[in-house]
Structure 1
Amino acid sequence: MTIPVAPDSPLPRRFTAGDLPLMLESGILREDERIELLDGELVERAAKGFAHDVVKNALMRRLVPALPDTIYLGIESTLQLRPTLLLEPDLLLAPVSARSASPEGFCTIPGSEILLVIEVAASSPAYDRGRKAALYARHGVREYWVIDAQERTASVHREPASGGYRDVAELPRDAILRPRADGLAALSVALAALD
């Protein structure tokens, strides 16, 4: 008789979007907790500070007037890309027709239909440029901006592939960002003006 050998370390318990309402209901999580579900792992997000809020609000003031009614602007919306992946991008732009509710009750949009995701990074630029960029690329999100709230610089990620984005440009404070998507042709964001 062969006795199975236990792994050297315990296997992690992976969660799904369906587990979160149960955790809220039982009191394991609170409604106001800032978490994301990354490949089944619950990740706590840092609290948003003054610089983050200034940049995010300045972005909204510039984007909203230029957006046609056919474009959905998600502001800190929970986005479900698969059962084990819930992200909370600061801003997300996609055709209104592409969004729907997942069985778990979260917003779901096929990654290839998302026109632009913007993350404002105050305390986590490496995380947003690294792990989160890889997740967005893996799901086919066409364009992903990470704006450094302190420096007012940006990393613009384009051309998603399975291992990340093929085109990543680091832009200085005096740059003007313009999304590539046809539906967003009227948008431009001057980084230095995000005050």
Structure 2
Amino acid sequence: MGELLIRPDDLDVRGLRSEEYMALFEMGAFEGERVELIGGQVIRVSPMSDPRAWTIMRLNAQLASLMSSGYDVRVQLPVDVSEYSMPEPDVSIHPRLDRPDQRPTTALVAIEVSVTSLRLDLTHKASIYASAGIPLYLVFDLNGDRLVVHRAPEGGTYTDVAEHVPTGGFDVLGIDLDLPELFGRG
């Protein structure tokens, strides 16, 4: 795809709504593409690198026991957080859904594992998750060798953001995440 001929700043652009995005998806409009809806725009998802896949697999394994405690642990599945955003966090944790045709509209925890998408994860996605009231948003910055922890969402932003070095553990809903393992050191 080439560069836009007309800049969005010059237009009154209407973003794609979640239900429109899903209708297009079900018609096969994005077949063979990894995309997600962010702020009304269809965004291509970064290709899966081996380090990112490793961390996502290990997160899933470490958090799996939450499923026996009434939670769903979802891996790269959509969360319908607003009319114009349906991100697919690398991992999200929700109260258990009652039916297979349900899609969560918020989460208790959203996790992104970043290799090439750090700017998107720390800005746009942080704002979207904060606006949805997700109380804990974690960004595993694999290149920066840090865990960025976002808490206390208020007015579309997180008021408590801290960085952790990948040593020891980090508590997520009573599960002590093994950070050295998740950063490939364990």
User: In the alignment, is residue 79 of structure 1 matched against residue 72 of structure 2?
Assistant: no
- The one-letter code sitting in structure 2 at the alignment partner of 1:128 is D
- Structure 1: segments with no counterpart, 5+ residues: 1-7
User: In the alignment, is residue 146 of structure 1 matched against residue 142 of structure 2?
Assistant: no
Distance in 2 (alpha carbons) for counterparts of 1:172 and 1:89 = 22
The one of 167, 181, 186 equivalent to 1:193 is 181
Distance in 2 (alpha carbons) for counterparts of 1:74 and 1:28 = 24
Q: TM-score if structure 1 supplies the norm length?
A: 0.80
2:40 matched residue in structure 1? 40
The one of 104, 108, 119 equivalent to 2:104 is 108
Distance in 2 (alpha carbons) for counterparts of 1:118 and 1:55 = 11
- Structure 2: segments with no counterpart, 5+ residues: 1-8
CA change 1:98–1:119 in 2 (3 A) is farther
1:126 matched residue in structure 2? 119
Q: CA deviation at 1:17?
A: 2.0
Say whether the 8 Å CA contact 1:93–1:116 is kept in structure 2: yes
Q: CA deviation at 1:95?
A: 1.1
Distance in 2 (alpha carbons) for counterparts of 1:25 and 1:98 = 22
Matches within 5 A, 1:1-195: 9-24=10-25, 28-30=29-31, 32-65=32-65, 67-97=67-97, 101=101, 107-109=103-105, 111=106, 114-179=107-172, 184-185=173-174, 187-194=175-182, 195=184
Structure 2 SS opposite 1:80: coil
Q: TM-score if structure 2 supplies the norm length?
A: 0.83
Q: CA deviation at 1:41?
A: 1.4
Percent identical: 25
Distance in 1 (alpha carbons) for counterparts of 2:97 and 2:27 = 35
CA RMSD, aligned part only?
2.4
Q: CA deviation at 1:61?
A: 1.6
Structure 2 SS opposite 1:146: strand
Bigger CA radius of gyration: 1
Distance in 1 (alpha carbons) for counterparts of 2:56 and 2:114 = 10
